[in-house]
């Protein structure tokens, strides 16, 4: 190790920048390296953060128990003096036993170590986040929110050590009420192929963590929706990942949920339909959503492209089914995510709503016809986001035995589709697939009903007035 010795000779007290006017203690550490001597200042919480990282990286480390415990009482001189000696002894043990030299050198800001280490911009982003959130804990939620937005804004990559450091930080924060569900959300995204390119590397690091560490994520409260109802599914996905990668999966689940009977009941009774949805983040196989004789719906994820396929079989006319796709009023009777659809010179402008967010697409439309079939093709691009695209191909054809020649004549028909979503569009459709309201599945069920009904009007679709008004305001600006 580059560090030869450390001494904590003195401490100082500073006022915390908050309306409570609290104070905190700084420990002045004199660091002796092979070529230099310098002094740095650290708070106790920074020592504690280092202890947590070492505990995860080296759970059998012999000096873990030597670390002084936290205190809930005001800091007296005796407590500060005791901590100063204990922390100095603990650092000396880390150096003499050469325990996790990388973490120790980072903590002590050894210049030679830092200068020789080359970090990518992505890794530097993570390290900066770790440093800020450990030193300014009163701004945790702001740092978490900013990091989530910046990190997942584009493709990132980080080495296993940086990944371990990030997970080490986030895991215990899942149980911190002041952080809400942000740490769980970030971990879930890192483990999910939809959000992080190297999700498999994160999974390897994550599942290698000891169960006693993973228990600190407070899964039981997430499963029981005590923290954030929207994070229940994410918690379930992560538990499933742990179960699959454990030698005795059920025992691991029981231990992670701390044998809480309510949590175990919810977990074990998770519906079969839900289980089909869960696997999407970890598999590139075709996942069925609906399997019926008259309606089939499935989807597949590969390389950030979501493909949705399926068909309906109905007694209807080709003209009517065509109208269900290209007529604005008729399409809104079954497409539950569609808020508005207007004709343009090239095709249509479609407005979709997902999680109360409004997304506008410009679509080119092409229609091909024959005596026995009609093909409708939509190609859309998200406005202001050219890399987010979708293409939808609907093929309406007569089934064998249907001898009608007229476009308007009713007969046995099959309408099959192939839908592809890329970029942000893939995330939007994913919300429809895995959302609690099963919006995609219900849309195609309604499509089948609309195709067969003589006079079909949508039932149960409640217009969200605030969203509808927002769409109208956007449309006014867009058409000016």
Topology at the third CATH level for domain 3-115: PX Domain (3.30.1520)
Pick the closest to residue 280 from 436, 439, 433 (CA basis). 433
The whole-chain average pLDDT of the chain stands at 80
Q: CB-side exposure of 150: number of CA atoms within 13 Å?
A: 14
Distances (CA, A) of 133 to 141, 152, 163, 173: 9, 18, 16, 11
> Of the CATH numbers 1.10.3720.10, 3.30.1240.10, 3.30.530.20, 3.40.50.1100, which one belongs to the domain with range 284-479?
3.30.530.20
The domain limits of the chain are 3-115, 120-279, 284-479
Q: Say whether 284-479 and 3-115 share the same fold.
A: no
pLDDT of residue 88: 92
Pick the closest to residue 188 from 434, 437, 436, 441 (CA basis). 434
Tell me if residue 195 falls in helix, strand or coil.
coil
Q: CB-side exposure of 176: number of CA atoms within 13 Å?
A: 16
pLDDT in tens, 116-150: 456 788 888 998 898 888 777 778 888 998 999 99
CB 129 within 8 A of CB 143: yes
Q: Is 19 exposed, middle or buried (0-12, 13-18, 19+ CB in 10 A)?
A: exposed
% of the chain at pLDDT higher than 70: 81
pLDDT in tens, 378-426: 998 988 787 888 889 999 988 765 555 555 678 889 999 999 888 878 8
């Amino acid at each position: 190790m580059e560090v030869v010795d450390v001494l904590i000779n003195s401490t100082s007290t500073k006022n915390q920048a908050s309306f409570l006017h609290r104070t905190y203690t700084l420990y002045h550490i004199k660091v002796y390296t092979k070529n230099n001597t310098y002094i740095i200042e650290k708070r106790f919480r920074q020592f504690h953060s280092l202890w947590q990282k070492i505990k995860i990286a080296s759970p059998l480390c012999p000096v873990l128990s030597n670390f002084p415990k936290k205190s809930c009482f005001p800091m007296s001189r005796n407590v500060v003096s005791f901590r100063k000696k204990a922390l100095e002894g603990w650092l000396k043990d880390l150096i003499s036993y050469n325990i996790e030299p990388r973490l120790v050198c980072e903590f002590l800001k050894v210049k030679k170590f830092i200068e020789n280490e080359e970090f990518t911009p992505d890794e530097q982003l993570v390290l900066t986040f770790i440093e800020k959130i450990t030193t300014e804990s009163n701004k945790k939620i702001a740092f978490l929110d900013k990091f989530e937005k910046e990190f997942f804004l584009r493709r990132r990559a980080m080495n296993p050590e940086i990944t371990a450091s990030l997970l080490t930080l986030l895991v215990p924060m899942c149980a911190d009420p002041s952080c809400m569900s942000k740490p769980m959300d970030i971990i879930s995204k890192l483990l999910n192929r939809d959000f992080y390119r190297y999700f498999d590397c994160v999974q390897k690091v994550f599942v290698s963590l000891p169960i006693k560490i993973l228990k600190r994520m407070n899964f039981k409260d997430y499963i029981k929706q005590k923290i954030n109802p929207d994070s229940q599914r994410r918690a379930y996905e992560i538990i499933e990942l742990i179960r699959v990668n454990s030698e005795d999966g059920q025992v691991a689940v029981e231990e992670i949920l701390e044998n809480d009977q309510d949590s175990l009941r919810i977990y074990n009774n998770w519906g079969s339909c839900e289980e089909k949805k869960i696997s999407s983040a970890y598999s590139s196989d075709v996942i069925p959503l609906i399997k019926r004789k008259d309606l089939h719906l499935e989807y597949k994820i590969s390389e950030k492209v979501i493909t949705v396929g399926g068909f309906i079989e109905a007694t209807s006319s080709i003209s009517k089914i065509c109208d269900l796709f290209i007529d604005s009023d008729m399409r809104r009777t079954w497409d539950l995510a569609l808020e508005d659809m207007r004709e343009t010179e090239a095709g249509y402008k479609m407005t979709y709503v997902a999680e109360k967010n409004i997304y506008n697409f410009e679509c080119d439309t092409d229609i091909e016809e024959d005596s026995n079939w009609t093909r409708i093709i939509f190609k859309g691009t998200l406005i202001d986001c050219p890399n987010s695209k979708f293409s939808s191909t609907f093929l309406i054809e007569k089934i064998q035995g249907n001898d009608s020649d007229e476009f308007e004549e009713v007969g046995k028909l099959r309408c099959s589709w192939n839908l592809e979503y890329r970029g942000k569009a893939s995330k939007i459709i994913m919300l429809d697939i895995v959302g609690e309201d099963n919006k995609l599945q219900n849309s195609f069920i309604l499509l089948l009903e609309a195709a067969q009904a003589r006079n079909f009007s949508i039932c149960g679709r409640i217009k969200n007035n605030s969203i509808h008004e927002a769409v109208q305001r956007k449309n006014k600006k867009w058409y000016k």
